Amino acid sequence: MEQSVKIPRKEYPKVAQTEYPVNPLIKERWSPCIFSSEPVEKEKLHSLFEAARWAPSSFGEQPWNFILGFKDEGEGYKKILSALWSANQAWAKHAPVLGFSVTEVTFHKNGKPNAHAWHDIGLAMGTLLLQATELGLSVHQMAGFYPHKVIEACQIPDGWEPVAAFAIGYMGDREGAAPELLARDESARGRRPQSEFLFWNEFGKSWPG
Ligand SMILES: Cc1cc2nc3c(=O)[nH]c(=O)nc-3n(C[C@H](O)[C@H](O)[C@H](O)COP(=O)(O)O)c2cc1C
């Protein structure tokens, strides 16, 4: 069912329960599956990618490129949607904006492999996500796609690779949403504790703080 109702983020009980204080945007960001089909204002989209633009990158290479498709325009959107795994298509098909991040696998300046390009795209997406949260928008990223399909459908040239797909939009009304999507969107959120990943002096030794 198409949803055009925008739901304010605060109506979802998904705010992160953090162990230490963090910026409210970090607490409020999450990845919904129930999107409103209401189009996203172009100005807001530009703000998202402006945030991505100002992310740091190895040697300042800025290896991020993004391809967007708009539901209300059709063709490009269908190409992106067709490259997703069906489990992702099931919810992503309602989002008004779909896209892919794409990276150049070598440094632009010297042609050598850029092992940090994927890291830098992740940083750019990270800043984009917080800007989206600030503007009341949600972003749901996807690794579940067929690279060969997006390469072909979106004519990605040699030397470039699709990194992740994403859906952007406002959250949709839970009323009438598919039960399995509702269950996902209402599920509790959790994270590994810092003691499991924050080490001190050597790998595996928890920092006692
Ligand atoms: C690189 C990346 C790939 C992801 N791939 C998928 C995906 O294919 N399908 C999906 O439903 N969610 C996907 N997710 C969303 C994650 O499952 C989600 O971010 C994670 O469960 C944490 O939930 P939160 O974002 O709501 O905090 C992906 C997230 C990232 C960052």
Query: What are the structural domains, with CATH classification, of the chain?
Result: 27-174 (3.40.109.10)
Buried b (16+ CB within 10 A) or exposed e, 139-169: bbbbeebeeeebbebbebeeebbbbbbbbbb
Q: Which residue has the tokens 């996500």?
A: 129
Shortest-distance Cα residue to atom 9 of ligand 1: 142
* pLDDT bracket for residue 5 (50, 70, 90): low
Q: Is the pLDDT of residue 7 over 80?
A: no
Q: Is the pLDDT of residue 13 over 80?
A: no
Shortest-distance Cα residue to atom 19 of ligand 1: 31
Q: Is the pLDDT of residue 6 over 90?
A: no
pLDDT by residue (tens digit) across 138-171? 999 999 999 999 999 999 999 999 999 999 999 9
Mean pLDDT in residue range 198-206: 97
The answer to pTM > 0.85 is yes
% of the chain exceeding 70 in pLDDT: 94
Ligand 1 binding pocket mutation candidate from 80, 94, 140 (most atoms within 8 A of CB) = 140
Residue 141 CA to ligand 1 center (angstroms) comes to 5
Cα separations in angstroms, 28 against 44, 136, 173: 18, 10, 18
Residue 111 CA to ligand 1 center (angstroms) comes to 32
Residue 138 CA to ligand 1 center (angstroms) comes to 12
Q: Is the pLDDT of residue 10 over 70?
A: no
List CB contacts of 56: < 8 A, sequence separation 6 or more.
120, 123
pLDDT by residue (tens digit) across 67-121? 999 999 989 999 999 999 999 999 999 999 999 999 999 998 899 999 999 999 9
Q: At what angle do helices 42-53 and 117-134 cross, to 10 degrees?
A: 140
- Atom of ligand 1 minimally distant from the CA of 184: 11
Residue 16 CA to ligand 1 center (angstroms) comes to 15
List CB contacts of 144: < 8 A, sequence separation 6 or more.
84, 85, 87, 88, 165
Q: Indicate the pairing of strand 202-206 with strand 64-70.
A: unpaired
By the 8 A CB rule, do 85 and 146 touch?
A: yes
